[in-house]
C-alpha cells in the first residue's frame, strides 16, 4: 500500500471517465478511505470486512458533500451531462457563445411560415398532453450564471425556457416560473420531465430544434399526444412541433 493505491481503484477506473461531478465525488471518497485505512493499521481485507462500517463515518461523507457544495459548480456540472452524451442535439448555431446561442440540431425539421404565420423550427417529445398549445418568448437557460441572474431579477412572464439539462438540477430553483420548457436532452422519464409533470408545466423533451433565437415569440404543440414509456420501447413516434411566430427584433 506504499503507493496509496486502493484495490478498488482498478474497478472504479475500469470504464470511461464519468461526468465531472461523479469523478469529483469519487476522488473525495477515495481520499477519505485512504486516510481511514492508514489510521486503522489494518490490511485491506480486514478494513473492508471488519472495520469500514465504523471507521468511515457519517462525518466523513458529510465532509465530502460539503466540499462539493463549496465548489460552486454543482449545477454547472450536471448541466453538462446531456451535452457530453449527445453533442449533436446541443450544437450551437454560431450566433453567440453565451446562453443566448440558439441550437442548430442537424435533424430538426423546418418550414417557411404558413398561412397563420407559423414557421416550423423543430419537434420534441411531449411530456403531458394539455388542452391548448402554449405561446411565449424563448429564453435560453444553459449555465449556472443565467440561473443566478434569473433568481436575482426574476423570470419574465411568459418565458419558454430552452435548455440543455435533462437532469433538471440546473433549473430546479426557478422551474415553477416558466410558462413552458423545451429541452434538447433526455426523455419524458428524465428528471426534468418528472419535475415539469409535477409542476404542471408544459414541456417537450428530446427536442430537435434549430433557428430559434432568444426573444423569439414561439408556440409549442403541447396539445399533441404525450409520449409514453411504451412508445420508447416500441419505437412509436409521437411528434410535438415547435414554431416561431415572430422573430425577436
Residues 138, 204, single domain; the answer is yes
Of the chain, the percentage scoring pLDDT greater than 70 comes to: 77
If we measure between CA atoms, which residue out of 206, 224, 182, 210 comes closest to residue 121?
A: 210
Per-residue pLDDT tens for 152-180? Answer: 999 999 999 999 877 777 888 899 999 99
Give the pLDDT of residue 101. Answer: 66
Give domain status of residue 120, yes or no. Answer: yes
Residues 178, 228, single domain; the answer is yes
Specify the range with the lowest mean pLDDT, choosing from 5-9, 36-40, 143-147, 206-210.
Answer: 5-9
Give domain status of residue 4, yes or no. Answer: no
The answer, yes or no, to whether residue 110 has pLDDT greater than 90, is yes
Residues 172, 235, single domain; the answer is yes
Looking at per-residue pLDDT, the higher value among 65 and 243 belongs to 243
Residues 117, 53, single domain; the answer is no
The residue from 71, 93, 125 where one domain ends is 71
Give the pLDDT of residue 2. Answer: 44
Q: How far is CA 189 from the centre of its chain?
A: 12
Which string of b and e fits 94-106 if b means at least 16 CB within 10 Å?
eeeeebbbbbbbe
The residue from 22, 41, 71 where one domain ends is 71
Give domain status of residue 80, yes or no. Answer: no
Residues 130, 194, single domain; the answer is yes
pLDDT band at residue 60, thresholds of 50, 70 and 90? Answer: confident
User: Phi and psi dihedrals of 218, rounded to 5?
Assistant: -125, 160
Residue 187: other Cβ atoms inside 10 A: 17
CB 6, CB 37: distance < 8 Å: yes
pLDDT band at residue 36, thresholds of 50, 70 and 90? Answer: confident
The answer, yes or no, to whether residue 5 has pLDDT greater than 80, is no
If we measure between CA atoms, which residue out of 68, 86, 69, 71 comes closest to residue 165?
A: 86
The answer, yes or no, to whether residue 6 has pLDDT greater than 80, is no
- Give the total number of structural domains in the chain: 2
Residues 65, 92, single domain; the answer is no
Give domain status of residue 79, yes or no. Answer: no
Residues 145, 195, single domain; the answer is yes
**What's the chain look like in SS3?**
CCCCCCCCHHHHCCCCCCCHHHHHHHHHHHHHHHHHHHHHCCCHHHHHHHHHHHHCCHHHHHHHHHHHHHCCCHHHHHHHHHHHHCHHHHCECCCCCCCCCCEECCCCCCCCCCCCCCEEEEEEEECCCCCCCEEEEEEEECCHHHHHHHHHHCCCCCEEEEECCCCCCCCHHHHHHCCEEEECCCCCCCHHHHHHHHHCCCEEEEEEEECCCCCCEEEECCCCCCCCHHHHHHCCCCCEEEEEEECCC
pTM: 0.66
Residues 134, 172, single domain; the answer is yes
Give domain status of residue 226, yes or no. Answer: yes
Looking at per-residue pLDDT, the higher value among 7 and 227 belongs to 227
Mean pLDDT of the chain: 82
| CA torsion through residues 177, 182, 184, 190, sign | positive
From residue 56, alpha-carbon distances to 5, 140, 165 in Å are: 17, 43, 33
Give domain status of residue 214, yes or no. Answer: yes
Strand partners, 219: 135, 243
Per the structure, the complete domain to which residue 29 belongs is given by 9-71
Residues 90, 67, single domain; the answer is no
Give domain status of residue 203, yes or no. Answer: yes
Per-residue pLDDT tens for 187-213? Answer: 898 889 999 999 999 999 999 999 999
Residues 134, 242, single domain; the answer is yes
Residues 202, 110, single domain; the answer is yes
CATH of the domain at 232: 3.50.30.10
The answer, yes or no, to whether residue 18 has pLDDT greater than 90, is no
Give the pLDDT of residue 54. Answer: 79
CB 231, CB 198: distance < 8 Å: no
Amino acid at each position: 500500500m506504499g503507493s496509496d493505491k486502493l484495490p478498488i481503484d482498478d474497478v472504479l477506473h475500469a470504464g470511461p471517465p464519468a461526468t465531472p461531478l461523479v469523478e469529483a465525488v469519487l476522488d473525495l471518497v477515495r481520499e477519505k478511505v485512504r486516510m481511514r485505512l492508514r489510521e486503522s493499521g489494518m490490511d485491506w481485507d480486514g478494513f473492508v470486512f471488519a472495520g469500514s462500517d465504523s471507521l468511515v463515518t457519517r462525518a466523513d461523507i458529510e465532509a465530502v458533500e460539503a466540499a462539493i457544495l463549496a465548489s460552486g459548480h454543482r449545477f454547472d456540472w450536471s448541466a453538462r451531462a446531456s451535452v457530453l452524451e449527445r453533442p449533436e442535439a446541443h450544437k450551437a448555431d454560431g450566433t453567440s457563445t453565451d446562453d443566448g446561442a440558439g441550437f442548430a440540431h442537424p435533424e430538426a425539421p423546418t418550414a417557411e411560415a404558413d398561412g397563420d404565420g407559423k414557421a416550423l423550427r423543430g419537434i420534441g417529445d411531449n411530456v403531458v398532453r394539455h388542452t391548448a398549445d402554449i405561446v411565449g418568448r424563448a429564453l435560453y437557460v444553459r449555465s449556472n450564471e443565467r440561473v443566478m441572474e434569473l433568481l436575482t431579477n426574476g423570470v419574465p412572464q411568459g418565458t419558454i425556457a430552452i435548455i440543455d439539462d435533462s437532469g433538471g438540477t440546473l433549473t430546479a430553483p426557478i422551474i415553477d416560473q416558466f410558462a413552458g420548457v423545451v429541452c434538447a436532452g433526455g426523455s419524458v422519464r428524465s428528471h426534468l420531465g418528472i419535475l415539469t409533470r409535477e409542476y404542471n408545466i408544459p414541456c417537450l423533451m428530446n427536442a430537435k430544434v434549430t433557428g430559434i433565437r432568444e426573444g423569439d415569440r414561439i408556440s409549442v404543440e403541447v396539445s399533441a399526444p404525450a409520449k409514453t414509456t411504451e412508445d420508447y420501447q416500441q419505437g412509436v413516434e409521437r411528434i410535438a412541433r415547435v414554431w416561431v411566430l415572430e422573430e425577436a427584433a
